Structure 1
């Protein structure tokens, strides 16, 4: 039996006015803070498809993924992987670009080297003929003209070799630049790419020659002035350190401008800009660049001398087998030795050019994240020659 609550007790409704369980009492609105869901909310959980879920896994392409991409560390469209290079990568790439395009590489090298050897032979023909007369003459009959002709011919041969080597290096740089992407190139295409850069390359070669002559000329003048001043002992004492300092300075400058020919060809820079940019690229990795270039020189010299040595031996044997040396014998001996030297140069010149170009590529990867640029180009069409050539540029041309 239900008793009525005493009057005065609030909160207890009279009998018969209790609301069913789960519903608010009549006359009351929704509790504060409740009501319609806040804007932006969808249906309550459990109604409709679960939020955030699309099609069942395994159907269609996964959301957020584009076309398949190669792993950047394993991307290798051509002769090198497109990441900072190791010594093994550089040497393998320098050999690999010759194997990938032997016709253009060895063909260009053979043409330039043969011309260089012929010019050198013509330059030394006069002095060799003069030497033939000297063998039957007395020492008092030696003239300044004969000595001058000999020195002039030797200087001409050195200049021809220097300029020819610079031009050959530029031509081979074009081939290496394409081989990085595995793209082929013909001799004709190489010539089209390089002919506009011949004058800057020649200017760089002449500038380097002037710098070398000025450096050693300054040392010679200092030693000569000390000797003329009546202190020959001081000249001898200071001469050796000065020559050694000049050699060290020459090695330093050579290393710092090592990439200048590559920059002239691939980035199409003027001479002075190529020199300053080479300084910037080498500065952060001087000892690595110097070490790899020195090792390359040792390896290339060993191979070149090993190839040329048998020819030199044959030439010397023919020269001494006839008794007294004659002009004809000297010419024949020199011709045979030149053949061996030419074959050696045809083998090692591409290797040298390949190492320098790939070392430049490695320095750009390490200093400028250039590997990301190369990966972008390789992810497109590596055989689009114009697009891959433009990847090397650092400014509009």
Structure 2
């Protein structure tokens, strides 16, 4: 399905679209179950929760402005409940969505590896091939979340320190703004660096069966010397897919929002109950489904692109293409994607081998057992014998005979 050689950008993109096209039903089913369902639940819960949060905060303000000792306690209880709801919506729901989208890379990577070997994976087959590797993928996602939480705490502490220093001194606010921008740039560069260096961790777990830390070390090694290429391709793919998803989902969402006025043109359904109107709920659900449908496709393509980049790096550093070719021809090794040691130097076909004479720069190669024709000299016999003198047109030597002599003596 892919050329057994180092892959270019065109090969990576073509391979990702080919994997999706030839097994779209299975891959979309995985994407819908993981990122689709949780994405829809996240969108609905976030929207409804924000509406409820606004109502609770307005109720707390109204209660706090009342008189009596019970008004303050009620306001505190409402505020505490609002903060809890906000944390649940801001942390809990995106946490589950992040786990689902991160885990989706594993079955897509396994299916991509099967397509490289000329096989087609089923839903249950991909789940079976992930046996013993699912927990490692989950642990890696949790480790990423822990690292993100630590980074977030550091950012919050630094921001508090900056604002404290700003309040304690009379320095110009412009310097603090520039310092904050520089700090944000530094944190952004760190996130981009570590995200790129560990981008192949989940495909490595899924294809090679390594543990969490071994797969992370393998990803770090594979991106060594190819950081900017990997970063550029991943960034290009993410930007392109985000633009495509926005173009595809925005008109549909706007159309559904306009169409929702048919259900409740005056918005009176939700005015009495204090909730969302029927038209708003329909617009929210249908618009979310359209957006998530596009997102599911881009998630599968992004995971396949990442897997092909990991395969390309293994071809360049571990001669994975030779093991795949040997597996397709002889069946050995049984698992060409198994962990292997890096090769010192790839014997590319265009490199000259250290043995044998160099081929002539012109004409076809001579047959086996014959020496090439030498310019400016006689042709040598291949296996010994006396050298035949060349025929000349003059002197005592006869010209070459082009056929048997005629009886009348003519040539």
TM-score by length of structure 2 reads 0.69
| Correspondence 1:85 to 2:7 | yes
Flag the structure with larger Rg. Answer: 1
Partner of 1:344: 294
Who is 2:304 aligned against? 354
- 1:393 pairs with 311, 323, 338, which one? 338
Q: 1:138 to 1:271 in 2, by over 3 A?
A: closer
- Is the deviation greater in 156-165 or in 84-93? 156-165
Q: For residues 163-211 of structure 1, give each alpha carbon's deviation from its aligned partner in whole angstroms, at most 9, with x where no partner exists.
A: 0011111111110000012211111111111242221111111111121
Q: 1:394 to 1:210 in 2, by over 3 A?
A: same
Kindly state the Cα deviation for residue 152 of structure 1 after the two structures are TM-superposed: 1.7
Q: Map of 1:99-178 to 2, 5 A cutoff? A: 99-121=21-43, 123-124=45-46, 127-131=49-53, 133=55, 143-178=79-114
Please tell me whether the aligned partners of residues 123 and 156 of structure 1 are also in contact (alpha carbons under 8 angstroms).
Answer: no
Alpha-carbon displacement from aligned partner over 1:200-225 (angstroms, at most 9, x marks no partner): 11111111112122223212212212
SS of the equivalent of 2:117 reads coil
Once residues 47 and 35 of structure 2 are traced to their aligned partners in structure 1, the CA distance between those partners, rounded to angstroms, is 18
Describe the shift of the 1:89–1:322 C-alpha distance in structure 2 as closer, same or farther (beyond 3 A): farther
> In 2 relative to 1, CA 219–138 (structure 1 residues): closer, same or farther, beyond 3 Å?
closer
State the partner residue of 1:40.
none
1:183 partnered with 2:103: no
Unaligned runs of 5+ in 1: 1-77
Name 2:17's counterpart in structure 1.
95
CA distance in 2, matches of 1:237, 1:145: 37
The Cα shift of 1:156 comes to 1.7
Say if 1:395 and 1:369 are closer, same or farther in 2 by CA, change over 3 A. Answer: closer
1:297 matched residue in structure 2: 238
Task: Give the number of the structure with larger relative contact order, counting CA–CA contacts within 8 Å between residues 6 or more apart.
Answer: 1
Aligned residues between the structures:
313
Tell me if the contact between 2:208 and 2:338 (Cα under 8 Å) persists in the aligned partners: yes
The aligned counterpart of 2:276 is 328
Shift of 1:126: 5.3
Equivalent in 283, 286, 289 of residue 227 of structure 2: 286
- Mapping 1:253-268, distance limit 5 Å: 253-268=194-209
Offset of 1:151 from its aligned partner?
3.5
CA gap 1:144/1:315 in 2 versus in 1, 3 angstroms: farther
Worse overlay, 218-227 or 120-129: 120-129
Quote how far apart the aligned CAs of 1:395 are.
Answer: 6.0
Mean Cα displacement is larger for which, 212-221 or 297-306? 212-221
8 Å Cα contact 1:212-1:250 kept in structure 2? no
Query: Kindly tell me: are residues 360 and 321 of structure 1, through their superposed partners in 2, closer, same or farther at Cα, counting changes over 3 Å?
Result: farther
CA separation of 1:105/1:309 partners in 2, compared to 1, >3 Å: closer, same or farther?
same
CA separation in 1, counterparts of 2:265 and 2:178? 45
Q: 1:201 to 1:332 in 2, by over 3 A?
A: same
Distance in 1 of aligned mates of 2:124 and 2:137 = 19
Aligned to 1:371: 321
- 1:271 offset after TM fit, Å? 0.7
Once superposed, what is the RMSD of the aligned Cα atoms?
2.7
After superposition, the C-alpha distances for 1:347-378 in whole angstroms (9 at most, x for unaligned) are 11111011000000111111222221222122
Query: Partners of 1:215 and 1:132 in 2: how far apart?
Result: 29
What's the CA shift for 1:134? 5.8
1:197-216 → structure 2 map (5 Å cutoff) = 197-216=133-152
Correspondence for 1:221? 157
Shift of 1:125: 6.4
Work out whether residues 57 and 82 of structure 2, in 8 Å CA contact, stay in contact via their aligned partners in 1.
Answer: no
Do the aligned residues in 2 keep the contact of 1:315 with 1:333 (CA within 8 Å)? yes
- Report the TM-score when normalising by structure 1: 0.72
Instruction: Name the residue aligned to 1:312.
Output: 253
More displaced 10-residue stretch of structure 1: 114-123 or 294-303:
114-123
1:314 deviates by 3.3
Cross-structure match for 2:382: none
| Residues 150, 126 of structure 1: alpha-carbon distance in 2 compared, 3 angstrom cutoff | farther
CA distance in 2, matches of 1:105, 1:282: 27
SS of alignment partner, residue 339 of structure 2: coil
Q: Separation in 2 of the partners of 1:224 and 1:128? A: 26
